[in-house]
């Protein structure tokens, strides 16, 4: 029984604790107590309270229970004090207090009835001025009501006599607004923040003698405007800045690159213009930075949207006329860009450039005369986001192709003609090319074709007219030069080649090159631009597949592949002397049997140490069938003693060579020196003997 009596209080306590825990859990935030107020002057009051934990301070106040005004202090304290300023004299105010700590926020609104106080009436001769807001940006040159450019001013005047008062900025005479006080009371008005440097500025209340009655401080903050905030590439964007430090250096960064710089004026204002370069479409940020000491500080960021745009040149024309179309502001390397004309696709562009730009040429399709919309879209850029371009179509023709070879089929499509127009004919250089007349459909369009006739290189006129469309509409068709046949399709230097072609200028000199080397021959085009020529392959042409190019004086050109081959001449010279000879002198004369009676050949002589290799000397361009080694002060070809081999081959004027002759051995072996010494001694002895005899005989006599 004792155990049960002991357990009962414990169970009761646990039940009580369970009931209290939810209440304790709801009691977040500090405990607020001793809320009080003190009215210090007609326009101000102090609100105080205490909390059990350190927390911040906030007073919500107003002249009704909806409150609306807020004063906040972020300092963490247990004794709280908030000063309310700018109040209206002799007016009842309601308020509540709030404090927030780590556990939450507590609000004391006096049980829903709110605390209240009444400001005192202003004494005679009392003046005050309050402003709201107390900081903001300059706004004299911009719309009212943006970012606090407009300052609300409340002036309290406590004097019975009607008097004119002024609200002044930074000096007692710089009037921004004027009002007349007929009675004692509060007067509200508004002024614009003028252009002013960053920092604190004084707003004065002065009377009609410009004597100061009251003042308040307004803090100017830096600001900037951008106009416009979006546009295509090429848009000139104007930036206007206010509230910076006087003469402060500024710069604007776009895509993390400084694009323009300036210096603020004496009142901290500045203006900059920047033209949007070729940039992919999308949103970008302009960072406006000011130099603070040696550091660039980002003060303001402005958003700008690059929008897509297309332009065409010209803005009107005829069917078949080519139009240059350019796009900007598309996505970087955007794929599959389609251009439409009157809602129908006329061009597909693979992708845009990295900067989102692209350009191409389109031809006006055969459509009825009138105005048509040109548009473009891609995988990222929608057509509805690209402003349309209006193009006015007049009667005309479209040629396909616009450059062709003689004998090609030319398709002619007409548009903009009268609905159902008859008697339409196509002309090439004034000559009728359509065997029968053409009738346009009920959209004023038609189509025909003709074979490009023989004509010279360059532009020719294709025209069309009908029973109604007069005079004829025209378009230019270019005739291209072409090589028709070349025979043979390969050859060695010096070989003769025949070539035919057409579409060149008439009666002009021709140049033929093979692999960049000019072929020989006097060649000209015929009067009708046809080409029938023969030429020889140049001796400087190298072996292999080379490009053969035919060009006339007017620049018409055509090309074809031509294979340059190597030719081996059938003639091989026959060495004659020296042959297995022992020569006493190194000045050797070589003789061989070559080609007789033909000046189109030369010989190459080669001397070696062995029969197969070891070339130590060679001579080319020898015109005769013999050659003597030279020994002169300027050229020494004398061979020293030893065994040698020589051979010779024939070369024609085009560089073609024959086979080498057999290598012939010979030896250079001069008489040894000792032999000459011995001979000299013998001669000397003989002379001495003769002399002796002569002398002896004379003495005897």
What are the pLDDT digits (tens) for 629-641? 998 888 888 899 9
Contact between 308 and 386 (Cβ < 8 Å): yes
Sheet with 236-242: strands ordered across? 223-227, 236-242, 270-275
Give the pLDDT confidence score for residue 148 in this predicted structure. Answer: 46
**Which residues are CB-contacts of 393 (< 8 A; sequence separation ≥ 6)?**
316, 317, 318, 319, 364, 367, 368, 369, 370, 371, 372, 415, 416
Give the pLDDT confidence score for residue 168 in this predicted structure. Answer: 95
Give the pLDDT confidence score for residue 552 in this predicted structure. Answer: 95
- Examine residue 14 and state whether it is found in any structural domain, yes or no: no
As given in the structure block, the two tokens for residue 380 are 């990222």
Name the more confident of 134 and 458. 458
Q: What is the value of pTM for the model shown? A: 0.56
pLDDT tier at 144 (50, 70, 90 boundaries)? very low
Condensed to tens digits (0 to 9), the pLDDT of residues 556-582 reads 999 999 999 988 888 899 999 998 888
- Examine residue 22 and state whether it is found in any structural domain, yes or no: no
As given in the structure block, the two tokens for residue 29 are 């935030």
Lowest-confidence region among 9-18, 154-163, 215-224 = 9-18
Give the pLDDT confidence score for residue 598 in this predicted structure. Answer: 66
Three-class SS state of 286: strand
Residues 170 and 241 in one domain: no
- Examine residue 13 and state whether it is found in any structural domain, yes or no: no
Domain-ending residue, one of 359, 394, 429: 394
As given in the structure block, the two tokens for residue 665 are 């051995």
Cα distances (angstroms) measured from residue 421 to each of 467, 469, 472: 7, 8, 13
d(CA 10, CA 3): 11
Give the pLDDT confidence score for residue 107 in this predicted structure. Answer: 96
As given in the structure block, the two tokens for residue 631 are 């020994």
Residues 49 and 112 in one domain: yes
Highest mean pLDDT among 117-121, 186-190, 383-387: 383-387
Contact between 128 and 186 (Cβ < 8 Å): no
Residues 573 and 653 in one domain: yes
Domain-ending residue, one of 451, 479, 507: 479
Task: Calculate the CA 130 to chain-centre distance.
Answer: 56
What percent of the chain lies above the pLDDT cut of 90?
65
Q: How many domains does the chain have?
A: 8
- With CA atoms as reference, report the closest residue to 285 among 244, 237, 327: 237
Residues 463 and 504 in one domain: no
Matching residue, tokens 């247990």: 78
Name the more confident of 569 and 463. 463
What phi, psi does 606 have (nearest 5°)? -135, 135
Residues 501 and 518 in one domain: yes
- With CA atoms as reference, report the closest residue to 363 among 411, 420, 406, 408: 411
**Residue 72: CATH number of its domain:** 2.60.40.10
Residues 460 and 512 in one domain: no
Owning domain of residue 630: 568-670
Residues 321 and 302 in one domain: no
- Examine residue 590 and state whether it is found in any structural domain, yes or no: yes
Condensed to tens digits (0 to 9), the pLDDT of residues 150-190 reads 788 888 887 767 899 999 999 999 999 999 998 888 888 98
Contact between 583 and 626 (Cβ < 8 Å): no
User: For residue 371, is pLDDT > 90?
Assistant: yes
User: For residue 698, is pLDDT > 70?
Assistant: no
User: For residue 7, is pLDDT > 90?
Assistant: no
- Examine residue 16 and state whether it is found in any structural domain, yes or no: no
> In the predicted model, what is the mean pLDDT of residues 597-607?
85
d(CA 23, CA 579): 134
Give the pLDDT confidence score for residue 522 in this predicted structure. Answer: 83
What percent of the chain lies above the pLDDT cut of 70?
92
User: For residue 460, is pLDDT > 90?
Assistant: yes
Residues 652 and 597 in one domain: yes
Residues 279 and 325 in one domain: no
Give the pLDDT confidence score for residue 311 in this predicted structure. Answer: 96
Domain-ending residue, one of 441, 462, 479: 479
- Examine residue 436 and state whether it is found in any structural domain, yes or no: yes
**Residue 161: CATH number of its domain:** 2.60.40.1930
d(CA 39, CA 476): 95
Condensed to tens digits (0 to 9), the pLDDT of residues 341-358 reads 999 999 999 999 999 999
- Examine residue 598 and state whether it is found in any structural domain, yes or no: yes
User: For residue 261, is pLDDT > 90?
Assistant: yes
Residues 519 and 443 in one domain: no
Contact between 193 and 136 (Cβ < 8 Å): yes
Residues 175 and 231 in one domain: no
- Examine residue 102 and state whether it is found in any structural domain, yes or no: yes
Residues 113 and 84 in one domain: yes
């Amino acid at each position: 029984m004792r155990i049960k009596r002991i357990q009962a209080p414990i169970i009761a306590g646990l039940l009580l604790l369970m009931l209290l825990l939810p209440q304790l859990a709801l009691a977040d935030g500090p405990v607020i107590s001793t809320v009080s107020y003190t009215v210090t002057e007609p326009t101000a009051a102090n609100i105080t309270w205490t909390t059990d934990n350190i927390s911040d301070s906030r007073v919500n106040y107003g002249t009704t229970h909806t409150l609306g005004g807020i004063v906040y202090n972020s300092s963490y304290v247990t004794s709280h004090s908030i000063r309310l300023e700018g109040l209206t004299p002799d007016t009842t105010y309601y308020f509540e207090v709030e404090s927030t700590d780590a556990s939450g926020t507590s609000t004391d609104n006096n049980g829903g009835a709110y605390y209240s106080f009444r400001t005192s009436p202003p004494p005679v001769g009392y003046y005050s001025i309050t402003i709201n807001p107390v900081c903001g940006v300059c706004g004299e040159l911009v719309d009212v009501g943006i970012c606090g450019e407009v300052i609300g001013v409340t002036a309290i005047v406590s004097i019975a006599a009607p008097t004119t008062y002024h609200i002044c900025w930074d000096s007692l005479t710089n009037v921004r607004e004027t009002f007349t006080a007929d009675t004692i009371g509060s007067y509200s008005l508004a002024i614009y923040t003028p252009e002013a440097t960053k920092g604190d500025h004084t707003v004065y209340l002065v009377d009609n003698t410009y004597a100061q009655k009251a003042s308040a401080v307004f803090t100017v903050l830096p600001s900037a405007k951008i106009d416009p905030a979006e546009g295509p590439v090429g848009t000139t964007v104007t930036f206007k800045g206010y509230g910076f430090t006087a003469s402060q250096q500024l710069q604007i960064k776009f895509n993390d690159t400084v694009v323009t710089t300036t210096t603020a004026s004496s009142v901290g204002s500045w203006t900059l213009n920047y033209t949007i370069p070729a940039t992919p479409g999308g949103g970008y940020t302009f960072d406006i930075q000011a130099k603070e000491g040696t550091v660039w500080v980002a003060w303001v960021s402005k958003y700008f949207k690059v929008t897509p745009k297309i332009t065409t040149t010209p803005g009107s024309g005829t069917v078949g006329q080519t139009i240059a179309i350019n796009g900007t502001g598309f996505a970087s390397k955007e794929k599959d860009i389609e251009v439409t004309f009157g809602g129908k696709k006329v061009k597909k562009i693979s992708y845009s450039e990295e900067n989102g730009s692209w350009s191409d040429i389109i031809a006006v399709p055969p459509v009825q005369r009138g105005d048509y919309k040109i548009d473009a879209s891609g995988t990222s850029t929608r057509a509805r986001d690209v402003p349309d371009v209006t193009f006015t179509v007049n009667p005309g023709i479209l040629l396909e192709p616009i450059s062709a070879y003689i004998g090609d089929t030319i398709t002619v499509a007409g548009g903009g003609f009268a609905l159902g127009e008859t008697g339409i004919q196509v002309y090439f250089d004034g000559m009728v090319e359509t065997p029968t007349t053409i009738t346009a459909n009920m959209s004023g369009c038609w189509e025909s074709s003709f074979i490009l006739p023989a004509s010279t290189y360059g532009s020719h006129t294709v025209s069309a007219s009908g029973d109604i469309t007069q005079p004829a509409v025209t378009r230019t068709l270019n005739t291209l030069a072409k090589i028709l046949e070349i025979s043979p399709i390969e050859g060695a230097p010096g070989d003769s080649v025949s070539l035919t072609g057409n579409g060149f200028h008439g009666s002009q000199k021709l140049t033929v090159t093979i692999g960049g080397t000019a072929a020989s021959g006097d060649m000209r085009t015929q009067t009708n631009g046809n080409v029938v020529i023969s030429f020889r392959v140049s001796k400087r042409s190298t072996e292999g597949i080379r490009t053969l190019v035919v060009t006339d004086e007017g620049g018409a050109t055509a090309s074809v592949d031509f294979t340059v081959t190597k030719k081996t001449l059938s003639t091989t010279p026959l060495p004659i002397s020296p042959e297995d000879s022992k020569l006493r002198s190194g000045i050797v004369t070589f003789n061989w049997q070559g080609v007789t009676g033909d000046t189109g050949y030369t010989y190459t002589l080669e001397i070696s140490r062995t029969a197969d290799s070891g070339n130590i000397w060679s001579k080319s361009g020898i015109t005769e069938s013999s050659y003597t080694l030279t020994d002169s002060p300027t050229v020494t070809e004398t061979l020293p003693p030893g065994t040698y081999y020589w051979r010779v081959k024939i070369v024609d004027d085009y560089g073609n060579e024959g086979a080498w002759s057999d290598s012939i051995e010979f030896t250079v072996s001069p008489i040894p020196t000792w032999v000459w010494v011995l001979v000299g001694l013998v001669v000397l002895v003989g002379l001495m003997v003769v002399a002796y005899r002569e002398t002896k005989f004379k003495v005897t006599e």
